[in-house]
């Protein structure tokens, strides 16, 4: 009986050790992956991987601004839930059957030199830059079947005039659902686009949200692509200085996909 207890205890210890080791390895891997897509430093409080289930629970993901910005924090995602496909993962393909991404806060900062922290993100690039990247290096294989995206609020801080920053806060409260995302850069743009499209940051920071939305249409299919098109139409309606012809074309596309996004109704 004592030997049985010893054996069971040893097995439990091994399971605990394996779980801790696996969680640590996953934390390092996820940190490296997010850093590769975004290009910024980050911190993850914890990563828990299910022992018998294909689930990953990420707690306390924080993304930080690069040097030269007065604020340290760029974004805060308290919880990310991932249900992955084990078979595809073993074949070195990142196939996530469900992802729940809760972006509690995005902080957009213009520093005293007039530089915008969003411009440091790899996913914020012009189309010609993306074309150059695609020729040199193929994007990692990614498939997200269902994305449940929540965005709480966006804060804009402008230090460019000197002295205390001018601060604007937007409670966007977005709860959106997308399907069939197959590009990591498109995923990053989709999150950023949803966060910014219903705010005034585009005008205040001279940040081209419309172009960011147009980029989604080239890489996302199905509902996500259509939703991005409608949101781009909404952004065009509220952004000053956009060419009339571009606006009319986008509004026509938006009309065909009416009411696809919660914040576009």
- Return d(Cα 138, Cα 114) in angstroms, integer: 33
**Residue 185 domain boundaries:** 2-264
Q: Which is nearest to 61 in space by CA: 107, 101, 95?
A: 101
pLDDT at 109: 96
Q: Are 105 and 152 in contact (CB under 8 A)?
A: yes
- Return d(Cα 220, Cα 110) in angstroms, integer: 30
pLDDT at 254: 38
pLDDT at 104: 96
This model's pTM is above 0.85: no
- Return d(Cα 92, Cα 88) in angstroms, integer: 6
pLDDT tens for the chain, 265 residues long, are: 444 443 343 443 334 434 444 444 445 455 555 555 555 688 888 888 776 678 888 899 998 998 889 999 999 999 999 888 878 877 777 888 999 999 999 999 999 999 999 988 877 764 445 545 544 455 556 788 999 999 999 999 999 998 899 999 999 999 999 888 887 778 888 898 889 988 989 889 988 887 777 766 644 444 444 444 544 444 444 434 433 433 443 344 334 333 333 333 4
- Return d(Cα 215, Cα 187) in angstroms, integer: 11
- Residues 6 or more apart from 122 whose CB is under 8 A from it? 37, 38, 39, 185, 188
pLDDT at 153: 96
pLDDT at 190: 87
Q: Are 228 and 190 in contact (CB under 8 A)?
A: yes
pLDDT at 236: 44
Domain count, the chain: 1
pLDDT at 199: 92
């Amino acid at each position: 009986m004592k030997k049985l207890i010893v054996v069971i205890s040893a097995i439990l210890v091994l399971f605990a050790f394996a779980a801790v080791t696996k969680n640590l390895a996953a934390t390092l891997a996820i940190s490296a992956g997010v850093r590769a897509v975004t290009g910024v430093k980050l911190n993850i409080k914890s990563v828990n991987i299910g022992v018998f289930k294909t689930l990953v629970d990420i707690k306390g993901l924080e993304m930080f601004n690069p040097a030269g910005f007065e604020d340290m924090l760029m974004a805060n995602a308290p919880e990310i839930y991932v249900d992955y496909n084990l078979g595809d993962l073993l074949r070195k393909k990142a196939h996530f059957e469900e992802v729940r991404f809760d972006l509690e806060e995005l902080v957009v900062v213009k520093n005293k030199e007039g530089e915008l922290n969003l411009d440091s993100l790899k996913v914020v690039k012009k189309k010609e830059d993306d074309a150059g990247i695609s020729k040199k290096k193929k994007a990692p294989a990614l498939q997200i079947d269902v994305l449940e995206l929540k965005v709480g609020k966006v804060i804009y801080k402008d230090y460019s005039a000197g002295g205390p920053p001018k601060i604007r806060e937007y409670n966007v409260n977005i709860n959106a659902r997308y399907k069939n995302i197959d590009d990591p850069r498109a995923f990053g743009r989709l999150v950023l686009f949803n966060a910014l499209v219903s705010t005034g940051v585009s005008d205040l920071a001279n940040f081209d949200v419309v172009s960011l939305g147009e980029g989604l249409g080239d890489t996302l299919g199905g509902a996500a692509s259509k939703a991005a098109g409608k949101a781009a139409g909404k952004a065009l309606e509220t952004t000053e200085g956009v060419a009339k012809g571009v606006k009319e074309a986008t509004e026509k596309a938006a009309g065909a996909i009416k009411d696809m996004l919660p914040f576009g109704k």
